[in-house]
Chains A and B, each alone.
Chain A
Amino acid sequence: MTYEFDFAAVLAYWPLLLEGVWTTLRLTFFCTVFGILIGAFCAVVRTSGPRWARWIVGLYVEFIRNTPLLIQAYFLIFGIASMGFRLPIMVGAVIALTVNIGAYTTEIVRAGIESINRGQLEAAECLGLSKMQTYLHVVIRPALERVYPALSSQYVLLMLASSILSSVGVEELFGISNRIQSDTYRNFEVFVVLGVLYLIMAVVVRAGFSVLGLALFPRRRKLGTPL
C-alpha cells in the first residue's frame, strides 16, 4: 500500500468545516421547531379533526413517508424556482426538510395521543376544562412526554439527512466540503473527517435533546423514568 494519508491538508480548512457544522446545526434547529409545531398540529387534526381534514393529513403523511427526501427536495425547491419565486436557498432547505420531518412527527405524536386513556379526557371534562384546555394540558403535553425519546431519535436522523440538501446547493457541512474536495483532491480524507464530525454532532445533539427533555418534563427530571 503506497497511499499516504494527508489529513492535515483537509483540517487546514477548519474554518470552512466549522461554518458547515454551524449551518447544519442551524438547519436542524429550525426544522426541529417547525417540525414539532406542524407535527403536533397535524396529529391533533388526524386524531380529532373533521373527516376531510383527517383525510388530507393522512394523504400528506403517507405521501411523504413513502417517497425519498431527495425527490421531495427537488420537487419543492426546483418547483418553487420554476414558478419564478427566488427563495434564499436556506429558506428552501428549511421548507423541504420541515415538510418531510413534519410527516414523521405527525405519526409519532399521533401514536402518543392515541395512548392517552379515555378516562383522562373524562376527568378533564368533569373538572370543567374546555376542549382546547383539555387538549393542551391533558393530551398533548403527556403525549409529547411519552413519545419524546422516539422524537429525539427522529430529529437526530433529520440532522444526518440534512446532508442530502447539499444536492440542491445548500452549503451545510456536507455541501461545503465539496469545496475542500475540489481544492485538495483528498476525497477519502474529507469523508473520514466528515464522518467523525457527524458522529460527534450526533452525540452532541442527542445529549442536547436529553437535557432539553429534563428541562421540559419535570416528571422525567424527578423520577428518571419514561412516562
Chain B
Amino acid sequence: MNWTFFISLLWGLWGTVVLSLLTFLFGGIAGFLIAIARISPVKTISMIAAAYIEFMQGMPLLVLMGLCFYGPGIFGYDSLTPLQAATFALTLYASSYLGEIWRGCLQSVAKPQWEAAECLGLTRWQRMRTVILPQALRIATPPTVGFMVQIVKNTSIASLVVGYAELSYNAKIINNSTFQPFLYFGIAALMYFAVCYPLSVQSRALERKLNVANR
C-alpha cells in the first residue's frame, strides 16, 4: 500500500465529515421547521410540509443534487461550488427525513400532556417550549443519531453529479490509477464503517435506555 494514497483517503474522509456536519446543521434547522409545520393546526401549512416531504423522499438524492447544482445558475444566481451544491441538496434531503422523524416524536408525547399544558393557560409556543420539546427531545435522540448514519453514507454520492471530492471520490481516483479495488475501496469502506458504526451502536444504546426508562 502506498502511503500517499492513504493520506489522500484520509483527506477524503475529512471532506466527508465536513459535508456531513454541514448537512446535519442545516438539515436539522430545516427539519425542525418542517416538523413544526407538519403539526401546525393550519391545514394549508401542514399540507405544504407533507407535500415537501413526499417530494423530497420520492426522488433519488442524485436528482436533487443535479437540480441544486444546475438550478441556481439558471435562475440567475451565482453558480454554487460543489460543496455548496452538495450541502444544499443533502439539506433538502435530510430535512424531509428529520422533519418526519421529529413530527412522530412530537406527536408521540402523550396527548394528555398537550391538554394539561393547555389547561394551565400556556400559549401554544410556551407549551411547546416548556412541556413538549424537553420530552420529545428525549424520544428523538436515538432515531436522530441513527439518521446521522444515513447522512454520512449519502455524502458519498456528492462526488457523482456535483464533483465534490470526498472519501469515495478519492478512492475512485486512486483505483483508476492503481487498479486495486479490493484494497482501496476496502480501506474506504472501513473508514466509513469507523464513522458510522459507533453512531449506530450509540443510537441503539440510547433507544434501549429509553425503553427501560419508559417501562
Q: Write the residues of chain A forming the contact surface with B, with a CB cutoff of 8 angstroms.
A: 1-3, 62-63, 65-72, 74-75, 78-79, 81-82, 160-161, 163-164, 166-167, 174, 187-188, 190-192, 194-195, 198-199, 202-203
A63 to chain B, nearest CB (A): 7
List the A side residues contacting B156 at CB < 8 Å: 68-71
A156 to chain B, nearest CB (A): 8
List the A side residues contacting B168 at CB < 8 Å: 68, 70-71, 74
B179 touches A82 (CB 8 A): yes
List the B side residues contacting A198 at CB < 8 Å: 58-60, 63
B104 to chain A, nearest CB (A): 14
Q: Write the residues of chain B forming the contact surface with A, with a CB cutoff of 8 angstroms.
A: 55, 58-64, 66-67, 70-71, 74-76, 149, 153-154, 156-157, 160, 168, 171-172, 175, 179-182, 185-186, 188-189, 192-193, 196-197, 200
Could you tell me the distance between the alpha carbons of A195 and B149 in the complex, rounded to whole angstroms? 25
List the A side residues contacting B70 at CB < 8 Å: 187-188, 191
B101 to chain A, nearest CB (A): 14
Contact of A65 among B157, B180, B200 (CB under 8 A): B200
Give 5 pairs: A residue, B residue, CB < 8 Å, sorted on A: A65-B196, A66-B149, A67-B153, A71-B189, A164-B62
B201 to chain A, nearest CB (A): 9
B76 touches A75 (CB 8 A): no
List the A side residues contacting B71 at CB < 8 Å: 188
List the B side residues contacting A192 at CB < 8 Å: 67
B175 touches A78 (CB 8 A): yes
A1 touches B76 (CB 8 A): yes
Could you tell me the distance between the alpha carbons of A69 and B168 in the complex, rounded to whole angstroms? 11
Could you tell me the distance between the alpha carbons of A102 and B75 in the complex, rounded to whole angstroms? 42
Could you tell me the distance between the alpha carbons of A138 and B200 in the complex, rounded to whole angstroms? 31
List the B side residues contacting A191 at CB < 8 Å: 63, 66-67, 70
Closest chain B residue, CB of each to CB of A193: B63
A78 touches B59 (CB 8 A): no
B196 touches A79 (CB 8 A): no
A68 touches B182 (CB 8 A): no
A191 to chain B, nearest CB (A): 4
Could you tell me the distance between the alpha carbons of A62 and B201 in the complex, rounded to whole angstroms? 10
Closest chain A residue, CB of each to CB of B167: A71
